[in-house]
Each structure stands twice: as C-alpha cells, then as structure tokens.
Amino acid sequence: MFGPIEFILAGVLVGFCVGITGVGGGSLMTPILISLFKIEPHIAIGTDLLYASISKFCGSLVHAKKLNIVWPIVIWLALGSIPASFATTWVLEHHLSQSTHYKSVLTMVLGVMLTLTGISIIFRAQIEKFFDRFRNREQANMESEQHALQHKRRYIWIMGVVLGVLVTLSSVGAGAFGIMALVLMFPNLPMIRIIGSDVVHAVLLTAVAGLGHMSSGNVDFSLLMWLLVGSIPAIVVGTLISSRLPERFIRKILGITLFALGLNFIVNPVKAKPKPVETAQVVMNQHTTHSTTIV
C-alpha cells in the first residue's frame, strides 16, 4: 500500500520536471499514478485533470499580469473545448463506463497521446525549426494579428473541440498539442503570447474536464491534496534553478520516458477486472436454484 509520503514524492518529481522544462504535468503524473501506484485509469485521469488545473493556475496569473494572453484565441478555443469536454464526459458516464472495454479505451488513448507528446519533446528543436520557416522575422503588428484572428476563428474552434475530447479522455495534450497548433496557425504571433494563451485555456479546459470526472466519482481528493503538497513547492524550486540545469538533456530523458510509457499503454492496456460482487451473486442464485430443486 502507498501512503501520503509516496504521493508527495511523486508530486515533487512531477513539479520539479514542470519547473525545469515547462512540460510533464499531465503527461507525467497520469502514467505514474497508473503504472507505479496501480490507481485505476479513470481515477488517475480525473484526479490529474484537477491537479493540472490548480497547478497551472498560478502560471496563468503571471501571464495575465505580463499581458501575454490573446483573449480571442482563449475564448474561441474554450467555445470548442468546453462543450466537447461536457459531451465526452457524458458519453463516458452513460455509455462507456459500463463497458468491459472502459479502462482499455482510456489507457489506449492515453498511450497514443503520451507517445505523440514524447515525440514532440524529443524532436522539439527540429519541430520549432520547421515552424520557423513559416514565421515572419519581423514581429506582426496589431492589425495583422486581428486580421489573422478574424479569418481563423473556425480553425481555432475545431482545434478546441479536438483538444476537449482528447484531454477529457487522457488528461494529456492541452499543452504540447495546443502550442504546436497555435504556432502553425499564427506563425507571426510571438511565442510568449502563444504559451500564455495556451496555459490559460489549459486551466479552463482541465478544470471543466476535471469537474466532469468529479461528478462521475473519478477524483480522489486525498490523493489530489498530497500531490499538490509535493508539486507546488517543487515547481517554484525547479523554476528558480532551471537556468543552472541542463534543460535540454532533461527534456530528452522526459520525452523518451513518455514515449516508452505510451507504447507500453498501447501494447498492454489496463483491462477491467472481474467483478467479484456479480460472481458472488451468480453463485448465490445457483445455490438457491439447487435448494429449490431438492425441495
């Protein structure tokens, strides 16, 4: 059995990675909870969503104070992602949760998202270099930014819908995929404004998805509390000392780890355990039938 100390240490590990590299929150916490602590996938995903929302909230305040947020992007992303998250939660609760394939579906989606996230982290430099070809060397002025926003609202909304479904199913993708898609759609937008907008949207989406899972009973509040106790101080410490550590090397290790974990979840998804209550009920029914026959 694992207790508060182990959960706090897991929070410290994940928080430290987030502080140093800026990634690893949802993508690292969920597989740790499932693989190491043997927590059920739906509980791990639901708890991690609320964990991500709370832990990213402080970062969103910093971006808001520094005016790094493009609010129209956040709004149009949320218009797509929040209804999609509600719809996905409804389907999970009313249709998939009673299926024997429930855990398999969740862990396979998680595996795919982790694999893609790992690849994006490992090859981040090459990906940014590729996107740099589309990026204008001169910073775009406000008029061109407004023009781009007006003509790409539909694509932002569609991107929000995709993120809403994937994040609700796996708790992974709000950060890495959101940033990449925004970079591709807005090549002239400064990176800091893309990151700020993505962080704020991630807070909203993970909060809504987490509350949806909470309504289904998929959140362990005791676990959530201990993870936050460990991670919040570690995020601060990791951020403060990040300039002194080999961030690129740590990113490579994190990317390879996530890639390997993702492949493992795809190949070996968590399967539903047999329900002992139902088995006992069948045995009782058989015993009753046998007694009736004898009488």
Per-residue pLDDT at 277: 44
CA 252 to chain centre: 19
Which residues in the chain land under pLDDT 70? 1, 21-24, 97-100, 131-148, 242-243, 247, 271-295
Per-residue pLDDT at 276: 46
Per-residue pLDDT at 130: 76
Per-residue pLDDT at 294: 52
Q: What pTM does this model have?
A: 0.79
State how far the Cα of 242 lies from the Cα of 238, in Å rounded to an integer.
6
Per-residue pLDDT at 8: 93
State how far the Cα of 252 lies from the Cα of 96, in Å rounded to an integer.
36
Per-residue pLDDT at 79: 96
